[in-house]
Amino acid sequence: MDVPLKISRDLLALAIDQSRDGITIADARLPGWPLIYVNAGFERLTGYVASELLGKSVRFLQGTDTDQPEINILREALRKEQSCVVTLRNYRRDGSMFWNELSLSSVHDTDGTLTHFIGIQNDVTARVTLDQHLRQSNQDLHALNQQLYRLAHTDPLVGISNRLHFEEQLGQMLKTAQRTHSLLSVLVVNLDLFKRFNNRYGRAAGDTCLRMVGDLITRSFARGADCVARYDNDEFAIVSMGGSIEGLQQHLHKLRSQVRALNIPHSDSPEGVVTICGGGISLIPQRDSTAQELLQRASAALLEAKRLGNDSENIVS
């Protein structure tokens, strides 16, 4: 019976030493848990020979790179005499960094006293690098998707929401208002005699005018419950939740004054400056109300305002 046992131990020792994994044994009864055994796999992994490693703590592989979150996990496991698996940045004899997946196991004697720690180490640099690249690629893709979304939903001239984004927001806010029985307002604003403005002052001046008015409207309706968009050439649309019809009327009246205060010259306008007309609706939508219906009613209110003349408004419920 002794011969097979001796062969088994020799085979076990040979298998451990020739394992591709780095295997270490540290003495848990001595300060700093010094290494008392390293296999050839660990020598290949680190570039050190056994004589340079024995008697030292495996912590020296971290070098000065000690500010790693998983080191705290390792320390806590050592303190509690528990097993753990951590992935650490370690450094070979030539200074090159590698990601080391350390599987640490505690060994106790028959009395339950901790005697040793066994570490199995693997170079997982390729896996970690691939994970990092994939994570970065996902972040880049997410950023690209956000950029494409903004481009698809932003008016390139004025820099605010475009028609597509407005209609999406109107549809969502309509559903919310129907579900919560909240007031919903849809407002359409149009620049007076804008075609004449373009003909007299040129396309570049017209673009600048649109940007100035669009920026003013956006700042006027800047709540999270508002959405302002350039809906057509010289037409802006606003959807807003909450408030009151009186509040919307005051808001539009103030907006008209602010546009006049921009003092954008318009010699073809009776007022001598660029003005706007605004029309809209403010109501608690019915269950069968549609976004298209609300837009049509707001546009009809705008047409009625324009019949009253330049710089007019018309809000209905």
**Same domain for 46 and 168?**
no
Give the pLDDT confidence score for residue 298 in this predicted structure. Answer: 95
Owning domain of residue 195: 153-316
How far is residue 259 from each of residues 230, 232, 264, measured CA to CA in Å?
16, 18, 8
- Residue 148 domain flag: no
**Same domain for 22 and 99?**
yes
**Same domain for 35 and 107?**
yes
Radius of gyration of the chain (CA): 37
Q: Is residue 188 within a helix (H) or strand (E), and if so which, with residue range?
A: strand 184-191
- Residue 282 domain flag: yes
**Same domain for 180 and 57?**
no
- Residue 137 domain flag: no
At residue 291, the 3 state secondary structure works out as: helix
Query: What is the pairing mode between strands 226-232 and 84-91?
Result: unpaired
- Residue 261 domain flag: yes
- Beta-carbon-side half-sphere exposure of residue 51 (alpha carbons within 13 Å): 0
**Same domain for 258 and 124?**
no
Adjacency order of strands within the sheet including 114-123: 35-38, 22-27, 114-123, 97-108, 84-91
Bridge partners of 313? 278
Give the pLDDT confidence score for residue 78 in this predicted structure. Answer: 85
For residue range 89-103, list pLDDT tens digits in order.
999 999 999 999 999
Spell out the residues 6+ positions from residue 289 whose beta carbon is closer than 8 angstroms to its own. Answer: 174, 178
Rounded-to-integer distance, Cα 80 and Cα 152, Å: 56
**Same domain for 11 and 85?**
yes
Cβ-based burial of 182 (10 A; exposed 0-12, middle 13-18, buried ≥19): middle
Give the pLDDT confidence score for residue 81 in this predicted structure. Answer: 85
**Same domain for 121 and 185?**
no
Cβ-based burial of 148 (10 A; exposed 0-12, middle 13-18, buried ≥19): exposed
**Same domain for 124 and 174?**
no
- Residue 204 domain flag: yes
**Same domain for 165 and 312?**
yes
- Residue 139 domain flag: no
At residue 81, the 3 state secondary structure works out as: coil
Give the pLDDT confidence score for residue 228 in this predicted structure. Answer: 95
Give the pLDDT confidence score for residue 215 in this predicted structure. Answer: 94
**Same domain for 124 and 209?**
no
Give the pLDDT confidence score for residue 1 in this predicted structure. Answer: 44
**Same domain for 117 and 159?**
no
What is the number of domains present in the chain?
2
- Residue 163 domain flag: yes
Rounded-to-integer distance, Cα 17 and Cα 174, Å: 71
Q: Which of 70, 117, 116 is nearest to 90 (CA)?
A: 70
Give the pLDDT confidence score for residue 157 in this predicted structure. Answer: 92
Tell me which of 69, 93, 128 is where a domain ends: 128
Spell out the residues 6+ positions from residue 94 whose beta carbon is closer than 8 angstroms to its own. Answer: 47
Residues in the chain with pLDDT values less than 50: 1, 3, 5
**Same domain for 117 and 264?**
no
- Residue 141 domain flag: no
Supply the CATH number for residue 11's domain.
Answer: 3.30.450.20
Supply the CATH number for residue 177's domain.
Answer: 3.30.70.270
